[in-house]
Structure 1
Amino acid sequence: MSPAAPSPRRQAPEPAGDDMPTRDELFEIGTKSLQTGALTGVMGAAFGAGSGIMRSAPPGLFALLAGIQWFALGSSFMASRSLLWHAWGGEENLTAADKVKAGAVAGGVSGTIGGIARGPRNILPGILFFSTLGGGATYVSQKFQSQEPKEKKSIMASKWSPMRQISDQEYEKILEDKMLRIDAELAILNDNIAALKGQSSPSGSASPETGGSTSTSESGKASELPSGTQSTTKARPRWLSWGGGILITP
């Protein structure tokens, strides 16, 4: 029997962040670093110009020097932090504590560059100051990002508001109550109208017996009148005009 072939050893997987960034990743890191450096450089130039005016010094020279220093600080901070994030596994795999550490280290790198630009005596103070600043700023930003956004409340939801926002079910309930109230008022009005009609019908109309007795009594009174009265009442003079004259006829 031939001896069994030795099984190949499995190599442990390399950490995800140990490999060097690709060309595209380096381009993206460089672009972000230059953008951050340009922003901080503009702010530094404005600060330098104001400082030069207050010291009665050439503001253009102060603005140029401050802009260059702030550009170096901003771009070096962003570049070193992005490289640390990539080396430690990427931003999505880092915890809040890892991001704070990366911010402190990147601040130390920026402080070193700023200290070299201002003189060897400023290197150590620059490292301490910018490390604290970078770590503290990262910690504060992580605190704000971890907070859940609060739900925006309407003005009507306040207890001091005279109005209140109601739901669709409450609105339907209010409409049903109003319709029931209107139906009840209509029923009461119909009952009142029927009662008024019942009260006015016997008083306004005369019964046949009353009407018959009235006509009989009137005819009896007319028959009891004397003949002369009747003729006088019935025969009245008539005025006729004929041929330009007036003729009176009985």
Structure 2
Amino acid sequence: MKPVVLAKPEEGKDVNQVVAATAPVSQRQSQEHLPNQASPAPRQNEKRELLPPELMEIVTPSLKVGATFGTLGLFTGAAAGIIRSAPPALFSVVMGGQMFALGSSYYASRMVALRAFGGENEIRPADKVKASTVAGGVAGMVGGVLRGPKNIVPGIICFSVFGGAGQLLANAINWKPSSESTTEGFLKSKWSPVTFLPDEEYQKILKEKLLRVEVEIAIVDDNIKELRTAEEQSKKQQEDHK
């Protein structure tokens, strides 16, 4: 192997340039043909969710509803335990857990059913009844599982009926034409204590009231004129007598 003698670098040249110039031709060609290897960009810490976003949109509100019902069950169970002279803490925990399971399962299954029918904003009232009935059946099944296998079928039947009947009542209360809002639909219903007035009718009523006020003002002006005329005539008659 022949020794390689490196030339002394000239002024203004880098040592690496001199070494590269004295390297063998094959090595220099292989270095020229190599692509520029850019340093990989550092990856940002991406936040990974445990569940898909579509599933989180169902799970999160369902847990909130279940927590609300569970809290209500805690207080109700404590009150029931005190009335029955039983341990309030035990009754509170049991009823709170059951209410949490019923509320969360009902809300989650109802949201899934509504999405299956096309979404809550575009769904028909009849489809809402179907979704609530199915959700009630699921909640009844969950409650039956918690209370024992014998209660599964009665729970499904009872909660399905309650869910469908409750949705029918809600549809009857919130019924409205497609072009009206919920408030307008309620005000136009026979159960409303007040009457809904469109803008045109309200303006017409205001104009009638304004016309009445103008007529009353004109009558008052006429009365004032008559009183002044009568006063002037009485003054003249007194002067004539003098």
Normalised to the residue count of structure 2, the TM-score between the two structures is 0.65
Q: Corresponding residue for 2:186? A: 148
1:86 is displaced (CA, Å) by: 0.7
Distance in 2 separating the partners of 1:133 and 1:167:
50
Alpha-carbon RMSD: 1.9
One-letter identity of the residue aligned with 1:30 = V
- How many residues end up aligned between the 2 structures? 167
Describe the shift of the 1:174–1:33 C-alpha distance in structure 2 as closer, same or farther (beyond 3 A).
same
The Cα shift of 1:152 comes to 3.6
**Residues 1-250 of structure 1 correspond to what in structure 2 (within 5 A)?**
23-146=52-175, 147-149=185-187, 150=192, 152=194, 167-200=209-242
The alignment partner of 2:186 has SS state of coil
Find the aligned partners of 2:174 and 2:54 in 1 and give their Cα distance: 25
Q: Provide the rounded CA distance (Å) in 2 between the counterparts of 1:59 and 1:151.
A: 43
Identity %: 39
Amino acid at match of 1:29: I
Task: Please list the CA deviations of residues 193-230 of structure 1 after superposition, one character each: whole Å capped at 9, or x if unmatched.
Answer: 11221221xxxxxxxxxxxxxxxxxxxxxxxxxxxxxx
Q: How far off is 1:105 after superposition?
A: 0.5
* Cα separation, 2, equivalents of 1:182 and 1:101: 73
Equivalence for 2:12:
none
For residues 132 and 161 of structure 2, the distance between their equivalents in structure 1, rounded to whole angstroms, comes to 9
The one-letter code sitting in structure 1 at the alignment partner of 2:75 is A
By how many angstroms is 1:151 displaced? Answer: 6.8
TM-score by length of 1: 0.63
> Which whole-Å CA distance do the structure 1 matches of 2:52 and 2:173 have between them?
33
Give the letter for the 2:167 counterpart. T
Distance 2:237 2:103 in 1: 94
Distance 1:172 1:151 in 2: 32
* Aligned equivalents of 2:223, 2:157: Cα separation in 1: 78
- Within 2, Cα distance between the matches of 1:179 and 1:151? 40
By relative contact order (CA 8 Å, sep 6+), the higher-ranking structure is: 1
